[in-house]
Chains A and B, each alone.
Chain A
Amino acid sequence: MRATATGWSDALTAAALLAIDPVGLGGICIRSGAGPLRDHWLETLRGLLPEQTPLRKCPPAISDGRLLGGIDLAATLSVGRPVIERGLLAEVNGGILVAVMAERLAASTVAHLNSALDMREIVIERDGLSQRIPSLFAVVALDEGIGDERAAPSICDRIALRVDLTDLSRQDMIGSTFCADQIAAARGRVGKAKLPAHALKALCSTAASLGVASLRAPLFAIRVARAAAALDDDDRVRDAHLELAARLVLAPRATAIPEASSAEAEPAKNREPEGAEQHVPEDAQLDDLVLAAALAAIPPDLLKRLRVGDQDKLRSASVGKQGMSRVSKQRGRPIGVRRGELRSGARLNVLETLRSAAPWQSLRRRTQSQLVGADRAPRLVIHRDDFRVTRFRERSATSTIFVVDASGSSALRRLAEVKGAVELLLADCYVRRDEVALIAFRGKAAELILPPTRSLTRAKRSLAALPGGGGTPLSAAIVSATSLALAVRSKGHCPTIVLMTDGRANVCRDGHSGRTEAESEARDAARQLRVSTIPAVVVDTSPRPQQQAAGIAAEMNARYVVLPYADAAKLSRAIRAHMQA
């Protein structure tokens, strides 16, 4: 395929551009699994950079202390004054930070990287330290996500380049045509190339018509174009450089295609509402050229992704959650001090440590002076037994999983009421800062509409967009709710399932219809849920309370509530009472 071949050569060009202006471009996001292609790309980049350039790997679960720097306890205790351990961000100054498994970076790590990229220095305020350290670096984010998993959008916004190597194979791999000397020469020229007046407009309008809202994108495009001009030893930025910039920077960020499903620039132009082409015809030509270049590079699955919903947004909140559950040793309210090891980020309580060491000092000093001589004995002898760490209690977060029957059977009649009830419950969760997730089932399968999130705006949006109609795959819904609840629990949160259905299952898990079979499957699934001891509420949404829903509730060991007519508030009260119990 033509597209893939250009994909690899674009990747090589991207490596060259990044090597020319690493700090200006901020970095690159490479979407690909681990493999020879990616390794080869990294080696190429390495070869183009000056030899002494530091290259550091940043694992996804890096601790704040290691990332930013902090106090080195072993050294601190041995010399009797604070010894500072340099963090990764200080070490990488002037080099490249390789973020492995970027899609799994914790939210706090992403935030630190963002602020370092913005400020070009790191500000440390921790463990009694207060420092500013210059930190100029580029991020190579290795995004190994599959499907909707992506590197955090906030960091992708701050790095210029994006390359997708997923569909490339070894055959596409060709050697780089750039050599280190060429890059070094270009590095000296960067920023000197003249930017033609219309270039800004061309890039901005292309960004606008591709639906790229962030203003960082056109800025990065300019820098990429400048770096490309430097690479060609050109004293002005040419159209070809702008096209390359549009392809590498703007196209991967596109959230809209100007003319749906058409990759031609001509009709696209007509749709640009902000375009001022009418009175500047020669600029219009360049606009089209740049837009066409960007359109040609837009990933083929973009439309599909757009239809599914804004995945970037979906992703961002779940990242925050992963970060939340990981660091419970360091956050929350302090609840006391205990003796403990200084492993895995436990926080030392200095005063208590000193207090516990104090009674032994004269004794220990005497032993030490016998060992090493009186003049060399440390003033303070602290043993591992003296360490006291502060314990914290983090409020365990609650996640409420709403499972909504959107089938045609009967729920359709009351879907609006169900939505109203869910909205009231959501408002309640909002005040308590609970997380909510939404699973809808209709037709042949159950679908996770909204992964656990705290963003209520999104919850509401996805609820409003929920369509109704089709069969009732109840068993599939219960199974997916159970597995989601288990996943939530494994993160240390407390899940609650709220199932809203009339209980009239008529679609089996394999997708074929059949009422009897489907009902027995649903009961099986309900029994599974009971075994997992996840608290649940079943809300009967049928016009008149039915045996089926009550039966499912009994199998689940769930509380059974009948959706009262046109009284969403009453339902919300009932569920709230249950959740508090």
Chain B
Amino acid sequence: MPAVFPFSAIVGQDEMKLALMIAAVDPKVGGVLAFGDRGSGKSTAVRALAALLPSMRAVVGCKYQCDPDDSATLCGECRACPAAKLKSHQVAVPVIDLPLGATEDRVVGALDLERALARGEKSFEPGLLARANRGFLYIDEVNLLEDHLVDLLLDVAASGENVVERDGLSVRHPARVVLVGTGNPEEGELRPQLLDRFGLSVDVRTPADLPTRIEVVKRRDAFETDPIGFGAQWAKQDLKSRKRILAARDRLGQVTVSDKSLAKAAQLCVSLGTDGLRGELTLMRAARAVAALEGDKSVDDSHLRRVAPAALRHRLRRNPLDDSGSGVRVERAVAECLPA
């Protein structure tokens, strides 16, 4: 695999980096959608995240890298095996690329062609969703993906389980997957129904000020000239971020959310007129993850303020033709409901 640009070396793009960190701390937040200009480093950030993630324990030989400590989410095979007999090892958290043009059979899994042809046997060959279990599934150009595939992915991501009914097979397996989608809105939009199934949504802009742009180009150039040396230079920073993620995961359960904060989150959603309760839930979860990342014991207004745009901007019942970004509306509402 080619060398990966270090996460810490990415200049700016703070909102996107924060959103990815939140997703790494609490997968329940529900995925990240990043829309923005060409050449602004969307894919770079996602690929860099993969290198940053701490490793996890998984059952040896399991196709779905089940967590031996969590009996509720084991796959059929692992469940059938007595708990004491499950061997486990450390593996990297999977970050699986879903390439455009992937066929449905490879995404959900399908009949094992080799065995069907050679031995006439019917057996299930797991697809990308199985490989991405407990990890991330990265879809570049999510807005160009075929609609039925997007539907399917979002459904699986929401239920945490992949149900395959095809080729005469009937299989279900755990697929707890965090979806990360990126795209360029100029090339087509995502259906509004799908937008709010992503937990967080960030707008990525190319930095406009010259010093930042120079810094981006300088680092990228340094990376390309000497990928390994550059990686070593940033390894310490990356390690720090990794430790932050690990510490935040440990703390996450202890972070308290006061009724007052809940009320404020609800008030914010009401004033923006977001549909359903998903907005409040995501807002709360993301704020809690931020508090955990910051090392705070409870959620306060500052955390809500930081995550509100990403958690809510794609949930506004907006006139789809309204150009004035929904981010602006969220910011206005935040200023009203959560005065600094």
A contacts, CB < 8 Å to B: 24, 64, 68, 71, 76-77, 80-82, 107-108, 111-112, 115, 118-130, 132, 153-154, 157, 191, 195, 200-201, 203-205, 207-208, 213-219, 222-223, 274-276, 313, 316-317, 320, 331-333, 349-351, 354, 358, 379-380, 423, 426-427, 430-431, 433, 454-461
Contacts and interface: CB of A to CB of B under 8 A. Distances in A.
Most A CB within 10 A of own CB, among B1, B112, B144, B208: B144
B101 A108 contact: yes
A222 B217 contact: yes
B259 interface: no
Contact of A317 (B113, B188, B210): B188
B192 A123 contact: no
Contacts of B167: 349-351
B186 interface: yes
B101 A112 contact: yes
Given A111-B100, A204-B214, 9 more contacts: A64-B101, A128-B105, A154-B184, A204-B210, A213-B38, A274-B209, A274-B211, A350-B111, A458-B186
Given A157-B39, A213-B37, A80 B118 contact: yes
A457 B321 contact: yes
Interface string B175-201: 000000000111111011000000000
A370 B101 CA distance: 44
Interface of B: 1-2, 37-41, 43, 97-103, 105-107, 110-114, 116-118, 120, 122, 125, 127-128, 140-141, 144, 146-148, 167-168, 184-189, 191-192, 206-211, 213-214, 216-218, 220-221, 224-225, 319-321, 323
Contact of A118 (B43, B189, B207, B320): B43
Given A107-B144, A213-B206, A455 B185 contact: yes
A350 B188 CA distance: 34
A508 to B, nearest CB: 35
Contacts of A430: 189, 192, 320-321
A123 B208 CA distance: 33
A351 B224 CA distance: 47
Contact of B116 (A111, A274, A351): A351
B189 A195 contact: no
Contacts of A207: 213
A208 to B, nearest CB: 6
B92 to A, nearest CB: 15
Contacts of A214: 37-40, 206
Contacts of B209: 274
Given A76-B117, A331-B146, A455 B188 contact: yes
B185 A125 contact: no
Contacts of A203: 217
Contacts of A108: 100-101, 144
Contacts of B218: 200
Contacts of B110: 128
A191 B100 contact: no
A219 B221 contact: yes
A136 B110 CA distance: 31
Contact of A112 (B39, B100, B127, B213): B100
Nearest to A330: B103
B185 A115 contact: no
A133 B284 CA distance: 42
Contacts of B38: 153-154, 157, 213-214, 216
Contacts of B207: 215
User: What is the predominant secondary structure among interface residues of chain A facing chain B?
Assistant: helix
Nearest to A428: B320
A459 B319 CA distance: 13
Contact of A195 (B187, B188, B221): B221
Q: Which 4 A-B pairs have the closest CB atoms?
A: A214-B39, A274-B210, A125-B106, A128-B113
Nearest to B44: A118
A198 to B, nearest CB: 10
Contact of B321 (A153, A204, A460): A460
A351 B168 contact: yes
Nearest to A111: B100
A276 B210 contact: yes
Contacts of B320: 427, 430-431, 456
Given A222-B217, A317-B188, A111 B101 contact: yes
A121 B220 CA distance: 19
Contacts of B141: 111
B103 A127 contact: yes
A574 B65 CA distance: 55
A157 B40 CA distance: 11
B187 A354 contact: no
Given A111-B144, A118-B43, A213-B37, A354 B106 contact: no
B205 to A, nearest CB: 9
A508 B122 CA distance: 70
A115 B117 contact: no
Contacts of B97: 119, 123
Contacts of B144: 107-108, 111, 320
Contacts of A350: 111, 113, 116-117, 167
Contact of A423 (B185, B208, B321): B321
A576 to B, nearest CB: 16
Given A125-B128, A200-B218, A213-B39, A316 B101 contact: no
B41 to A, nearest CB: 7
Contacts of A24: 224
Contacts of B114: 81-82, 128
A454 B188 contact: yes
Given A82-B114, A108-B101, A200 B188 contact: no
Contacts of B188: 317, 320, 454-455
B60 to A, nearest CB: 21
Nearest to B146: A331
Contacts of A217: 39
Given A350-B117, A455-B185, A456-B189, A200 B221 contact: yes
Nearest to A426: B321
Nearest to A134: B2
